[in-house]
Amino acid sequence: MLSMILDIARLLLFPALMAFAAASDLFTMTISNRVSLVLVAGFSTLAVLGGMGLHDILSHVGAGATVLAVGFACFAMGWVGGGDAKLAAGAALWFGFGDLLNYLLYASLFGGALTLLLLQFRQWPLPYPLANQAWLLKLHAKESGVPYGIALAIGALTIYPETEWIKAIDLTHFAIH
């Protein structure tokens, strides 16, 4: 029973949190600290209950800490938002150094595409029926930043199916008999 619960958590927790962070960033231009805290708590719980070795846990923590340090430096320079830095670090914790480079590459590519699309979107006037949507007005405003949490989430969801978290799932739990 515990292994089935762990498999369901491996399958759903991380993707749900990343999707929530992306939606939150799109609609509010903020990512709650709670998302990052639940990412840390979820990783910790699944790593321990799933039998991840201490060396691997420490490696994952090192990846998360490295991205957090770089993210805060970028935040201090005004290049990224604090929520983005914490979300990237939370994702890095889950990916560890083994999947970190792929994650950062995808997040960067999606972030570049998102930025270009948003810059183009901001050049056009909003259609009248959409002009009363507060979230869309904020997204459309040229002085607004880029909701980079969207790119971080899409990058994470792109590589998550190839991670050890998903490979560890026992699919026989979900077989129809």
> What digits encode the pLDDT tens for the residues 44-60?
999 999 999 999 999 99
Q: Domain for residue 177, yes or no?
A: no
One-letter amino acid of 80: V
- 172 domain residue, yes or no: no
pLDDT at 19 over 90: yes
Which residues are CB-contacts of 108 (< 8 A; sequence separation ≥ 6)?
151, 155
Residue numbers of the domain that contains 93: 2-165
In a domain, 170, yes or no: no
What's the first-to-final CA gap in the chain, in angstroms? 17
Note the pLDDT of residue 62.
Answer: 98
- Tell me the per-residue pLDDT of 82-106, one tens digit each, with 9 for 90 and over: 999 999 999 999 999 999 999 999 9
Structural domains of the chain, count: 1
pLDDT of residue 36: 97
- For residue 96, being part of any structural domain is answered with yes
* Cα-based torsion angle of the residue sequence 31, 35, 37, 39 in order, rounded to the nearest 10 degrees: -130
Q: What is the pLDDT of residue 171?
A: 78
Question: Token pair for residue 139?
Answer: 């997204």
Q: How far apart are CA 156 and CA 79, in angstroms?
A: 20
Indicate whether 39 belongs to any domain: yes
Give the tens place of pLDDT for each residue, 112-125: 999 999 999 999 99
Mean pLDDT for the stretch of residues 14-25: 98
Q: How many CA atoms lie within 13 A of 116 on its CB side?
A: 6
Label residue 96 left, alpha or beta by phi (over 0 means left) and psi (-120 to 50 means alpha). Answer: left
The distance of Cα 67 from the centroid of its chain, to the nearest Å, equals 13
Residue 171, classified by CB atoms within 10 Å of its CB into exposed (0-12), middle (13-18) or buried (19+), is: exposed
Residue 118 lies in a domain: yes
- On the question of pLDDT at 177 being above 70, the answer is no
